Amino acid sequence: MNSNHRKTLEAIFARPTSPSIVFTDIESLIMALGGSVTQREGSRVKMVLRGEQWRCHRPHPGKEAKRYQVEEVRELLQYLGIRP
């Protein structure tokens, strides 16, 4: 995990929830942690990390993840015991 991944992880766990985390940074973090990102139909994406799945839509027209998406990723990472 490089410094950009660490910054993304810290931003995901920051309170209040940040509305400015770029969605592709979240995807990159998941892959750096050993997970996979699969493009589905349209803007749908499936991320798998340690056997746990998270399905969502890529944000559009913007590139920043929605607050609820950041909170869902935070819950997933906490469940898996991953913290900054």
pLDDT tens over the chain, length 84 residues: 899 999 999 999 999 999 899 999 999 999 999 999 999 998 999 999 999 999 999 998 899 999 999 999 999 999 999 999
pLDDT score for 1: 86
Decide: helix, strand or coil at residue 72: helix
Rg (CA), the chain: 12
Q: Is 17 exposed, middle or buried (0-12, 13-18, 19+ CB in 10 A)?
A: middle
